[in-house]
């Protein structure tokens, strides 16, 4: 049984949640998000809490139950506080700059790399640290993962994108052996 699914989801004071059948609309000071739940789980509003309950009893329902509760909880946090990921770019000659709604990067390829910023997200660049922020946790994490995948940190020199605070173990390079 899901421990996450059992817990009621507290609605913060500045957030409004509206349930329309299997759809939930959450709005707050940072914006609004909506989510259509699987028909195998039911959403109910009780006082200042939201309860996610099983509508059926199957293996799939047990799997979806806790996930749905956590997604709704993330929506509540997103519209009230927002989410943020920070990426750090290391490497000689590697650069990144904002040009309108695009990130222009020089990553050691023969061509510049451009990434389009989705409309509901904000990107800031300060020296070699990129901060991605928005209200949808999934979209913020996906954009950060997509950018990191362009040039993941390599283990020999540590060049490429890494999350701020991520520890990458460096490998020892090849050694020159004297020949006789």
Residue 91, domain CATH = 3.90.930.12
Question: Could you give the number of structural domains in the chain?
Answer: 2
pLDDT at 55: 85
User: d(Cα 38, Cα 90) in Å, to the nearest integer?
Assistant: 42
Tallying the residues shown for the chain, one arrives at 180
Q: Which domain holds residue 130?
A: 83-163
Verify that 8 and 66 share a domain, yes or no.
Answer: yes
The residues near 82 (Cβ < 8 Å, ≥ 6 apart) are 30, 133, 134, 135
* Residue-level pLDDT at 180: 64
65 close to 54: Cβ distance less than 8 angstroms: yes
Q: Is residue 147 part of a domain?
A: yes
**141 shares a domain with 89:** yes
**Distance of alpha carbon 15 from its chain centroid, rounded?**
21
Contacts of 3 (CB under 8 A, 6+ apart): 66
Tens of pLDDT along the chain (180 residues) come to 568 888 899 999 999 999 998 899 999 999 999 999 998 899 999 889 999 988 888 888 888 988 999 999 999 999 999 999 999 999 899 999 999 999 999 999 999 999 999 988 999 999 999 999 999 999 999 999 999 999 999 999 989 999 999 888 888 888 877 766
Decide which of 80, 99, 124 is a domain's last residue.
Answer: 80
């Amino acid at each position: 049984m899901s421990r996450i699914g059992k817990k009621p989801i507290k609605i913060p004071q500045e957030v409004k949640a509206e349930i329309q059948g299997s759809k939930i609309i959450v709005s707050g000071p940072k914006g609004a998000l909506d989510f259509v739940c699987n028909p195998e789980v039911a959403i109910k509003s009780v006082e200042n809490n939201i309860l996610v309950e099983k509508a059926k009893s199957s293996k799939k329902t047990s799997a979806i139950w806790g996930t749905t509760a956590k997604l709704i909880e993330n929506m509540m946090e997103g519209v009230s506080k927002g989410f943020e990921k920070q990426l750090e770019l290391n490497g000689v000659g590697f650069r990144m700059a904002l040009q309108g709604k695009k990130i222009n990067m020089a990553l050691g390829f023969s061509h510049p790399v451009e990434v389009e910023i989705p409309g509901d997200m904000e990107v800031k660049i300060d020296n070699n640290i990129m901060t991605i922020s928005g209200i949808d946790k999934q979209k913020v994490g996906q954009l950060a993962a997509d950018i990191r995948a362009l040039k993941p940190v390599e283990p020999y020199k540590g060049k490429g994108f890494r999350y701020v605070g991520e520890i990458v173990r460096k490998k020892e390079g090849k050694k020159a052996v004297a020949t006789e």
